[in-house]
Amino acid sequence: MTSDLDLPDDLFLFHPGDAEDARRTLSFRRTPTVLLTFAANRFTRLASREYQARFGIGAMDWRMLVMLAREPGTGVNHAARTIGIDKAAVSRSLRRLADLGLARLDDGSTAARGAWRLTGQGAALHDRILDVALDRQSKLLDGFTRAEVSAFADYLRRFLGNLDDMAADGTTQTNATQRSD
């Protein structure tokens, strides 16, 4: 609990300089949660548009491709918990991917416990988009040293951990996101 000592609220507040009738409120430039939200929204929107235009799938479907590339045989629930979105959205995304011929159910899998994997076509598309995604990311991390990138990722992981703690406090059901590798 170092935060109470080291992080006075004042650090994050915007103080109306020449006053008029502005109020004491959040600083946009110094408040991590604000910056985080801005950055993620803009990033997702841009990526979604580009992937849709170039490859015909959205950002959500791309995430599912990665998920299936990483863990063939994944089910809806596991995927939803891993990437932290609703299982309904996952279910619909998988249906889209199946319709496009990019993913399929394992032969032995029932409707109740589906095991999904990429088709050959899906794997090929995944590899193509992966190149683009890495290129985009390298542009977005332009100017970062390797150590800074590591620190950035470390901060985000810790933030996510605290987020899981907070979510676990609020609800009985432990719905915390699973993260591996």
Partner DNA sequence: GACCTTGTGTTGTCAAGTCAACAGGGACAG
Partner DNA sequence: CTGTCCCTGTTGACTTGACAACACAAGGTC
Which residues ranging from 4 to 43 are in contact with DNA (CB under 7 A)?
Answer: 41
Cβ closest to DNA, residue 97 vs residue 126: 97
The answer to whether residues 75 and 91 touch, using CB atoms and an 8 Å cutoff, is: no
Cβ neighbour number for residue 181 with a 10 Å cutoff: 3
CB of 12 to a second copy, least distance (A): 7
- Measured distance CA(13)–CA(8) in Å, rounded: 10
Selected from 7, 54, 56, 113, the binder of a second copy by CB under 8 A is 7
Phi, psi of 80 (to 5 degrees): -60, -45
Question: 98 is in the binding site of which of DNA, a second copy, none (Cβ under 5 to 8 A by kind)?
Answer: none
Cβ closest to a second copy, residue 47 vs residue 94: 47
Token digits for 5?
A: 């000592």
CB of 60 to a second copy, least distance (A): 10
